Amino acid sequence: MRITRATIKKFIKEGIVADNLFIRTESSFDGMSDMVTKQSDRGITKVILDTRCEELSNSTMGIVGAWFVGNSRDYFTAYENDEYIGYNIYNCCSEFYLLKRK
């Protein structure tokens, strides 16, 4: 099965409704160094919804710490371990995992 942006949107919506959505940020854009850098704290945390403005919703899909570039420049990979199932999202601005507890 091909993983698309629609797959990720559905996963997010189901996770929010069930209050079972987590994020693990691996790297993000750092304006001070003008490049993507690894996060020092890569722990798994419960998703915080971003309600700042509607314009960001397409780029963040409403999730603090998530960043989607769009225009086929986001790369999605399925992920699973003993406790979580979800997706790895990678692009030129960040790398993060969106996860649900099994």
Report if pTM > 0.75. yes
Break the chain into its structural domains and give their ranges.
Answer: 5-101
9-68, pLDDT tens digit by residue? 999 999 988 999 999 988 866 667 666 767 667 689 899 887 776 655 778 888 988 889
pLDDT (0 to 100) of residue 35:
65
Mean pLDDT, residues 73-90 taken together: 96
- 44 contacts 82 by C-beta, under 8 angstroms: no
CA–CA separation, 31 vs 34, rounded Å? 5
pLDDT tops 90 at residue 99: yes
